[in-house]
Amino acid sequence: MSATGAPARRIRLALITGLSGSGRSSVAKCLEDLGYYCVDNLPLPLLRDLLTRPDELCEGRDRIAVVADVRTPGFEREFPSVLAGIDTERFDPTLVFLEASDEVLIRRFSETRRPHPLAPDAPPSEGIRRERQLLENLRSRADLVLDTSEWSIHEIRSVIHREFAELGGEGHQMLVSVISFGFKYGIPYGSDLLFDVRFLPNPHFVEGLRERTGLEAPVQDFLDRQADFPDLLDRLGDLLGYLLPRYQRENRSYLSIAVGCTGGRHRSVAVAERLAGTLAEAGWSVRLLHRDVER
């Protein structure tokens, strides 16, 4: 019970296991993007400790993901007892089991040139066979069995987002970064959308504005008096209002929007400021950066 007498909210616990090479690490990264506190391959005594003291060891998170597999000594013998000991009044657990066909797993081990953990000195096929036998009972207990044989990383992300939303996870909020910059200093690395606003009248050539920046009222007032400036903001707002939900639908964790002018001090700064405000008002999580404003 909470201090108010209401039942405490259960911690959502994703337990990820399955065959080596089937994509466990990719699933963990997807859950991390969804706000889960992720731990990988803890020794089982430490895992038990974590499940006993989650508030202390997981910084009060209400979503935890644990990757556990045959790399852990005694996994096949002791992990079932760890599952049986989970306090379901405290946790809302989901056991996710990943697998793939023998052919696909052999190909993946061949591509990475890594030995199978259960057959370090033998062909991967031997390790895969042994692992399937060891995990057969665990697979039958899984809440969610995913065969990743034909999936790309993007398909894995899509399935995990969809399945965990259906299991009660909160909607994933994409982070939108808005960056102003100067073309003379280069385009920001990793920009997803780029807008060139050099067609706007340049305050650099207006008396009294050269030493100011787009963060200051005189520069913004000057641009507000230009017919193209409010028109540009309206059109960009409409475009981003159309695009951003579609990027989020593809399970993007973040999106970078770069706005550039010549030096990155006036026009791009003012446009980025207004865009960031518009997006924040629309409910997006926004991070604003003026890369070149002090140059």
pLDDT tens sequence across 33-50: 888 899 998 889 999 998
Q: Are residues 244 and 266 in the same domain?
A: yes
Q: Are residues 118 and 15 in the same domain?
A: yes
Residue 276 vs residues 149, 193, 199, 201: alpha-carbon distances, Å? 41, 14, 20, 21
Q: How many domains are there within the chain? A: 2
Q: Are residues 21 and 126 in the same domain?
A: yes
Please give the pLDDT value at position 30: 87
Please give the pLDDT value at position 204: 95
Instruction: Decide if 283 is inside a domain.
Output: yes
Beta bridge partners of 255: 176
Among residues 166, 195, 227, the one where a domain terminates is 166
pLDDT exceeds 70 at position 116: yes
Q: Are residues 159 and 186 in the same domain?
A: no
Q: Are residues 76 and 195 in the same domain?
A: no
Among residues 166, 199, 228, the one where a domain terminates is 166
What does the pLDDT average to over 67-95? 90
Please give the pLDDT value at position 127: 94
pLDDT exceeds 90 at position 16: yes
State which residues form the domain around 60. Answer: 11-166
pLDDT band at residue 73 under the 50/70/90 scheme: confident
Among residues 131, 146, 166, the one where a domain terminates is 166
pLDDT exceeds 80 at position 166: no
Instruction: Decide if 285 is inside a domain.
Output: yes
Q: Which residue has the higher pLDDT, 195 or 54?
A: 195
